[in-house]
Amino acid sequence: MKKVAVASLENKKLDPAAEKEMKARLFAAEKNLLNIHRRCKGDASETGLVQFAQSIHDLDELRKKYPTHSFASDTGKPVDVLIPFNSEYKFNLFVRDMGDELCVFMKGAPEKILKRCSKILVGNQEVDFTDELRKEISDAQASFGNLGERVLAFAKRSLPASKFNKSSYKFDVKGWKSWGLNPESQYSDYENQDGTWPMHNLTLVGVVSLNDPPRLKVDLSVNKCRSAGIKVIMVTGDQPATAGAIANKVNILKHPKKEFNYMHKELGLSEEDAWAQSTGVVVHGDLLAKKHLEQENLDDSDPKKGDFLRDWISKPEVVFARTTPSQKLLIVKACQDVDNVVAVTGDGVNDSPAIK
């Protein structure tokens, strides 16, 4: 038998100049690939958006041309004007330097963004966001959601240089929640406060749908759980239509036409009849939050506390949509309160409280 000598390069470092040249060649080679084959960091939604946008504009050039605006804090440290995405408020925001002026860009869940828009971009012209146009957007959003696609909305607003001077205006990046968090507010409510900028009365640019299919064989895994006597409850941040469509694909919601909301809204049954005849329910996180708030001050020993959650999870097929990390924890506790043995799976930081 011949012996083969293998030289290990793990501990050998390249010459800095050679390493730099090698990286440059790799980057150049990657640019010749199709967008979908290039290395792209981020979650499925972010990478999907990047690959989509790259087909229209070169993102490196755009980011270089219109950088995130930053200003000098009182200590002289540069501060980027941005709000990172958070699952509680479901949007992120950047202020970009467009050259002559600054511009706010916001992206997030449609129900969070649309409320903040008073205009819409039609044919490259800003027009009033009328009820008719809102219905058109809502119908498109529902259509995409029913296909199991994730929908994101995009909005913007230019900041006049007369007020938002690039060299001197200090944006209240840390305290924005006190004036900008409530989606029902108007810009006029806080425009005279120091450090604020428009987070309302924006212009809707459009919506984008993303196909984020379930992982392979999830439907088979759910069926195995059912055959073992395990009830599977889906808890997601997706909108209800998307959540319901995906739950149907993976056998969590096997009878979508016997879902409570479908029977009540589409078939016209009363709430009582729809609830009595339904085998499943898709619950919006906002409804969960409302019900929880109504009972928050009840004593823990009061049997009425949490009865709404116990009713929901009593259905054979249950899906919770647009949920927050804290709501996921409430759902787990509700399942434990009725003496269920609960196991939780999740692939994100937002799932960690419920998993713990």
Q: Could you report the per-residue pLDDT of 95-153, keeping only the tens digit for each?
A: 999 999 999 999 999 999 999 999 999 998 999 999 999 999 999 998 998 888 999 99
Ordered domains of the chain (ranges, CATH): 44-210 (3.40.1110.10), 218-355 (3.40.50)
| pLDDT in the model for residue 82 | 97
What is the SS3 assignment for 208?
Answer: strand
CA 262-265-271 angle, to 5 degrees, is 95
Q: What is the largest CA-CA distance in the chain?
A: 84
How many angstroms separate the CA atoms of 103 and 295, rounded?
A: 42
Residue 278 has a CB neighbour count (10 Å cut-off) of 21
Residues in the chain: 356
Q: Strands 317-321, 280-284: parallel, antiparallel or unpaired by DSSP? A: parallel
| pLDDT in the model for residue 13 | 64
pTM of the model: 0.80
Q: Strands 150-159, 102-108: parallel, antiparallel or unpaired by DSSP? A: antiparallel
Long-range contacts of 118-123 (CB under 8 A, 24+ apart): 118/200, 118/201, 118/202, 118/203, 119/201, 119/202, 119/203, 119/204, 120/203, 120/204, 121/203, 121/204, 121/205, 121/206
How many angstroms separate the CA atoms of 20 and 28, rounded?
A: 12
| pLDDT in the model for residue 258 | 96
What is the SS3 assignment for 204?
Answer: strand
**Residue segments in the chain with a per-residue pLDDT below the cut of 50:** 5-7, 9
How many angstroms separate the CA atoms of 126 and 146, rounded?
A: 29
How many angstroms separate the CA atoms of 355 and 313, rounded?
A: 18
Phi, psi of 333 (to 5 degrees): -65, -35
Task: Judge whether 241 and 259 are in contact, CB under 8 Å.
Answer: no
